């Protein structure tokens, strides 16, 4: 039997449960798919073939013993910013080129306990700073829909691997849009859960008040399955919330009658491509046909400030978090130096790439004496205004609908020299991290042959509402069934 | 308003980042451009608005002070660029 490498988690699970397919066969099929398309896509920092075959054999034994969970024996990939003891974890930085973490991230523990098979670690913008995966210190990842274009970022490797059929599913992290924007660019589903929903223990920190881990999958049901597996309280992450974890698959299939959806006008920004505007408005009309009540006149007036708030808060937190790279305990260490301070400065000069240095400099400036009140404190206050506007909106609406990104995937190199243009790629996703609320991006059409994503934003811990809306839309459309030819 | 060479060097020193002459020039221009784009933020009225440090409602998360197993010393030192016995080896701090 030829094993297709376009199986969803739920499809693979069904075949594994019925013993029509073994995890070993499935894993081998995906490893061979990786071998054939990876030279074109370049989604993976590290392929963990041996580990995968070992885990697949263990999963097969477990399944033979009648112990199967939705992810048992299913191959996936993990963004290379999440610690894995069995595979180096680079953050796509020269700083961590040979770093093998001494422990697994909390979500890795959970996924392993459920029997996931790890195929590899995915490429990203160095330390998750970027929107195109062009900032990887190693190589750029290509968008499977058009190899000349970027897959988005920073979880671009995860998105491209899923879209190219190199993996059944992926895990990403999202600080300002790093799951949702690449999901949109590669026509897959990506979820940024509520801040505190998923433990970040073992996630290498970028901006701690914004970072969150989430699923990147081929459809909404898969996203619910992965969310089930990774959610929950963990005392090793003091920002992890004790809220009970529902079964996220339970709401799938419910209709949208009586749902109130708001369309915030500030998200239909200047510079948005007309094909994105058209696709999202068409998608909203589809939601209306499905029974939702739409209010087209919602306003969240502080939205235009989100970009500045993000680019002050995130670099400030990054400048503190990345102070740990000192060349003493792990990572790159410059030995050719005149003394301790010189070694420290050279380690950081040669270990970090340009975007990481830029953000460390920006954050250090915003936190420095004389500028703290004007930048950092001011940004934190405007952050409160942005949160309050979301809170007020969610008193009236079950969810807000926006584009995920104002554009279709852009060409590699197109925005490399224009920092503000690159930063604007996340203009629709950053406010969500600033407020801490959850959001999902789902395929909502194409501009020519290039993917367009729709973002659904909900109130804190309303992941079920988002999945319900996303699933109803997905089942009424065909976008998620289209696959790139590579 | 372009950041001066001295300002760039001051920030780089605070951040412990070594810089080439080219870096100093480039970061000066780029950071100035970025900061100019943020000027509108200063005009937002935030009188009486408290800052948000993080978005969830938890504060002062405590746990009992109980001894628990920690990582083995060998595992912790496995990535060390230089070690001496059970210690990380660093360069002399006092010169």
pLDDT digits (tens, 9 = 90+) for A194-226: 999 999 999 999 999 999 999 999 999 999 999
Q: Residues of A with CB below 8 A from B56's CB?
A: 195-196, 239, 241, 436, 460
The answer to whether B78 contacts A368, with C-beta atoms less than 8 Å apart, is no
The answer to whether B41 contacts A308, with C-beta atoms less than 8 Å apart, is yes
- Please state, in angstroms and rounded to a whole number, the distance separating the CA atoms of residues A464 and A234: 21
Q: Which two tokens stand for residue A305?
A: 């400030």
Name the residue with tokens 């950053």: A430
Nearest to B56 among A342, A434, A436 (CB): A436
Specify the pairing of strand A212-217 against strand A260-264.
unpaired
**Catalytic annotation, pick one of A79, A110, A346, A459:** A79
Looking at residue A420, its pLDDT comes to 83
Is the pLDDT at B95 greater than 70, yes or no?
A: no
- Please state, in angstroms and rounded to a whole number, the distance separating the CA atoms of residues A168 and A118: 11
- Please state, in angstroms and rounded to a whole number, the distance separating the CA atoms of residues A238 and A230: 16
The answer to whether A209 contacts B78, with C-beta atoms less than 8 Å apart, is no
Specify the pairing of strand A450-457 against strand A75-79.
unpaired
Phi, psi values for residue B89, rounded to 5°? -95, 130
- Please state, in angstroms and rounded to a whole number, the distance separating the CA atoms of residues A110 and A115: 9
**Catalytic annotation, pick one of A23, A158, A173, A178:** A178
Nearest to A330 among B54, B80, B92 (CB): B80
Nearest to B46 among A311, A378, A434 (CB): A378
Residues with Cβ < 8 Å from B16, sequence gap 6 or more? A323, A326, A341, A344, A345, A348
Name the residue with tokens 């700083």: A95
The residue of chain A with its CA nearest to that of B59 is: A239
Q: Residues of A with CB below 8 A from B15's CB?
A: 319, 348, 360-361, 364
The answer to whether A102 contacts B16, with C-beta atoms less than 8 Å apart, is no
- Segment (H or E) for A421: helix A419-423
| Sheet order of strands, A450-457 included | A44-47, A117-122, A75-79, A169-174, A212-217, A189-192, A439-447, A450-457, A399-403, A260-264, A293-298
Q: Which two tokens stand for residue A171?
A: 């895990």
- Please state, in angstroms and rounded to a whole number, the distance separating the CA atoms of residues A37 and A23: 21
Residues with Cβ < 8 Å from B51, sequence gap 6 or more? A377, A380, A381, A383, A384
Enter the pTM of the model.
0.97
**Catalytic annotation, pick one of A132, A136, A154, A240:** A154
Q: Residues of B with CB below 8 A from A235's CB?
A: 63
* ipTM greater than 0.90: yes
Residues with Cβ < 8 Å from A414, sequence gap 6 or more? none
Name the residue with tokens 């879209």: A163
- Please state, in angstroms and rounded to a whole number, the distance separating the CA atoms of residues A235 and A237: 5
A79 included as an active-site residue? yes
Q: How many CB pairs under 8 A join A and B?
A: 160
Classify burial at B95, counting beta carbons within 10 Å of its beta carbon; exposed 0-12, middle 13-18, buried 19 or more: exposed
Q: Residues of B with CB below 8 A from A196's CB?
A: 56, 58
Lowest mean pLDDT among A167-171, A351-355, B10-14, B33-37: B33-37
Q: Are A263 and A229 in contact (CB under 8 A)?
A: no
- Please state, in angstroms and rounded to a whole number, the distance separating the CA atoms of residues A77 and B60: 35
Mean pLDDT within B83-92: 93
Sign of CA dihedral B65, B71, B74, B77: negative
Name the residue with tokens 């604007």: A424
- Please state, in angstroms and rounded to a whole number, the distance separating the CA atoms of residues A13 and A1: 17
- Please state, in angstroms and rounded to a whole number, the distance separating the CA atoms of residues A237 and A202: 9
Nearest to B55 among A209, A330, A349 (CB): A209
The answer to whether B79 contacts A99, with C-beta atoms less than 8 Å apart, is yes
Nearest to B17 among A99, A343, A357 (CB): A357
Q: How far is CA A286 from CA A81, A223, A256, A293, A361, in A?
A: 37, 21, 11, 11, 46
DSSP B73-88: HHHHHTT-SSEETTEE
A154 included as an active-site residue? yes
Q: Residues of B with CB below 8 A from A434's CB?
A: 55
Mean pLDDT by 10 residues, chain A (486 residues): 86 97 97 98 98 98 98 98 97 97 98 98 98 98 98 98 98 98 98 98 98 98 98 95 96 96 94 95 98 98 96 98 97 93 96 97 95 95 98 98 97 89 92 98 97 98 98 98 94
Q: What is the CA radius of gyration of chain A?
A: 21
The answer to whether B55 contacts A103, with C-beta atoms less than 8 Å apart, is no
Angle at A484 between CA A479 and CA A486, to 5 degrees: 170
Left (φ > 0), alpha (ψ -120 to 50) or beta: where does A350 sit? Answer: alpha
The answer to whether B15 contacts A349, with C-beta atoms less than 8 Å apart, is no
Beta bridge partners of B84: B87
pLDDT digits (tens, 9 = 90+) for A65-86: 999 999 999 999 999 999 999 9
Q: Indicate the DSSP class of residue A90.
A: -
Nearest to B14 among A335, A350, A368 (CB): A368
- Please state, in angstroms and rounded to a whole number, the distance separating the CA atoms of residues A41 and A122: 11
- Give yes or no for A391 touching B (CB within 8 A): no
Give A28→chain B minimum CA distance, Å: 31
CB atoms within 10 A of CB A449: 11
Q: Hey, of A237, A381, A424, which one would you mutate to test binding to chain B, going by the most B CBs within 10 A of its CB?
A: A381
Residues with Cβ < 8 Å from A294, sequence gap 6 or more? A261, A262, A263, A284, A287, A288
Specify the pairing of strand B83-84 against strand B87-88.
antiparallel
DSSP A13-28: HHHHHTTSS-HHHHHH
Looking at residue B61, its pLDDT comes to 84
- Segment (H or E) for A390: helix A378-396
Q: Indicate the DSSP class of residue A374.
A: I
Q: What is the CA radius of gyration of chain B?
A: 23
């Amino acid at each position: 039997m030829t094993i297709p490498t376009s199986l969803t988690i739920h499809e693979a699970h069904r075949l594994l449960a019925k013993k029509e397919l073994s995890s070993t066969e499935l894993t081998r099929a995906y490893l061979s798919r990786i071998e054939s398309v990876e030279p074109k896509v370049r989604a993976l920092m590290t392929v963990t073939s041996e580990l995968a075959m070992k885990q697949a054999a263990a999963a097969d034994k477990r399944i033979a013993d009648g112990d199967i969970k939705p992810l048992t024996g299913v191959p996936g990939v993990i963004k290379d910013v999440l610690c894995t003891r069995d595979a180096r974890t680079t953050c796509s930085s020269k700083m961590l080129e040979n770093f093998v973490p001494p422990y697994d991230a909390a979500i890795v523990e959970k996924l392993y306990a459920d029997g996931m098979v790890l195929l590899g670690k995915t490429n990203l913008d160095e330390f998750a700073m970027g929107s195109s995966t062009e900032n990887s210190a190693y190589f750029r990842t290509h968008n499977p829909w058009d190899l000349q274009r970027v897959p988005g970022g920073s979880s671009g490797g995860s998105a491209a691997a899923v879209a190219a059929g190199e993996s059944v599913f992926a895990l990403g992290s999202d600080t300002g849009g790093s799951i949702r924007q690449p999901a949109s660019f590669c026509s897959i589903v990506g979820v940024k859960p509520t801040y505190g929903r998923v433990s970040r223990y073992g996630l290498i920190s970028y901006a701690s008040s914004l970072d969150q881990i989430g699923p990147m999958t081929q459809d909404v049901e898969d996203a619910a399955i992965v969310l089930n597996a990774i959610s929950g309280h963990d005392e090793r992450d003091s920002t992890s919330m004790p809220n009970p974890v529902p079964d996220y698959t339970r709401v799938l299939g419910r209709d949208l009658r009586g749902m109130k959806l708001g369309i915030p006008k500030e998200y239909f920004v200047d510079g948005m491509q007309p094909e994105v505007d058209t696709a999202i408005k068409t998608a909203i009309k589809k939601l209306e046909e499905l029974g939702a009540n739409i209010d087209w006149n919602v306003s969240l007036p502080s939205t235009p400030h989100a970009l500045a708030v993000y680019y002050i808060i995130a670099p400030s937190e990054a400048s503190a978090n990345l102070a740990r790279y000192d060349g003493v305990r792990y990572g790159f260490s410059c030995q050719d130096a005149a003394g301790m301070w010189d070694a420290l400065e050279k380690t950081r000069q040669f270990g970090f790439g340009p975007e990481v240095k830029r953000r460390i400099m920006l954050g250090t400036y915003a936190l420095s004496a004389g500028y703290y009140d004007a930048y950092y404190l001011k940004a934190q206050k405007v952050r409160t205004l942005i949160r309050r506007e979301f809170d007020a909106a969610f008193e009236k609406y079950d969810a807000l609908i926006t584009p995920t990104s104002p554009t279709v995937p852009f060409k590699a190199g197109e925005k490399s020299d224009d920092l503000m243009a690159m930063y604007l790629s996340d203009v629709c996703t950053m406010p969500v991290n600033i407020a801490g609320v959850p959001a999902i991006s789902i395929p909502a059409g194409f501009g020519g042959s290039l993917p367009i994503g729709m973002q659904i934003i909900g109130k804190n811990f309303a992941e079920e509402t988002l999945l319900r809306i996303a699933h109803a839309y997905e089942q009424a459309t065909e976008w998620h069934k289209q696959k790139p030819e590579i | 308003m372009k950041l001066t060479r001295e300002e760039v060097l001051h920030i780089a020193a605070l951040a412990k980042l070594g810089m080439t002459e080219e870096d100093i020039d480039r970061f000066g221009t780029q950071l100035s451009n970025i900061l100019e784009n943020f000027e509108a933020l200063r005009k937002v009225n935030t009188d009486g608005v408290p800052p948000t440090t993080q978005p969830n409602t938890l504060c002062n998360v405590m746990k009992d002070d109980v001894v628990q197993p920690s990582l083995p010393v060998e595992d912790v030192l496995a990535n060390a660029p230089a070690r001496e016995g059970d210690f990380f080896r660093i360069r002399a701090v006092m010169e």
